[in-house]
Copies of this chain bind each other. A is one copy, B any other.
């Protein structure tokens, strides 16, 4: 017994219907609602076959059938093969980022909002993972008495800063002089390399051991921390609207997963840099998410780094709509971050 054209059409109809309603779908429904010119009995036979092939599950004998993960997979694959993205009414989306957002983090927060509003699922937006940024400028800025702010600008436009203590005698000019030395010494180095170079530099800028010590500490720490990779989550409450989560315990599990941000980031990032991924149920690899699907897309910034946007929803997700939305928003973010600088 093989998949033929007709089985495929029936499967498609079942999936469509189930995505829409969330209720197990029966043979009669298919034969009536989607006029295939077949009686319910015939559909019934086909459905029985489809079940045997592993595309349908039956929650209990006298209920309709629901698509299996395998079915969604097939569905999505054919969807993606066929020019994938239908044009959603993107007039409504074109101008979502006009409201003068500047800081990258603000944009990311906003994007998560927008995506979750459009999809009615949960949206996650990750800033690009900075892969070994190279130092471009180091500057010490006088802050309050006895402290200075270290600002490190990298080639990816990412700015890192921290306050360090300095001796009270230092004035602005001295700091500038030191900044120049540091910049010329460290330009082009990765944070890693900068750490290694510090001892050498310490000889050339004599008499400021304590300060350099602190600077070193900052570099050291910053190098190891994955911070500055910002993440925004939006629309977690949307999920509660789906009958899949009318069970409070399930909902709670889901929500607490959404709250453990490290884990969540890891999950979303698990797309291997593909421009689109769809992970369905068990494919997510997360036990808590066997009845969720994750759709991700990427956007890129000037430096060629990739950020990730993702949508988490029930397995019966409106895949085509979600893919379309992610596509559009992804492009918008790319435009925003790579064309013009994201400033005023």
Contacts and interface: CB of A to CB of B under 8 A. Distances in A.
Contacts of A149: 151, 153, 159
Interface in A139-183: 139, 141-144, 147, 149, 151, 153, 155, 157, 159, 161-165, 172, 176, 180, 183
A143 B162 contact: no
A16 interface: no
Given A144-B155, A149-B153, A248-B248, A343 B240 contact: no
Contact of A157 (B144, B155, B157): B144
A73 interface: no
Contact of A164 (B164, B259, B344): B344
B157 A151 contact: no
Interface of A: 100, 102-103, 106, 136-137, 139, 141-144, 147, 149, 151, 153, 155, 157, 159, 161-165, 172, 176, 180, 183, 214, 217-218, 221, 227, 234-237, 240-241, 245-246, 248, 251-252, 255-256, 258-259, 341-344
A240 B257 CA distance: 14
19 contacts: A103-B227, A136-B142, A137-B142, A141-B141, A144-B155, A144-B157, A147-B157, A157-B163, A164-B343, A164-B344, A214-B344, A218-B343, A221-B344, A235-B259, A236-B236, A237-B258, A240-B248, A240-B252, A255-B255
Contacts of A176: 176
B240 A259 contact: no
Contacts of A141: 137, 139, 141, 151, 153
**What 4 pairs between A and B have smallest CB-CB spacing?**
A237-B255, A240-B252, A237-B256, A217-B344
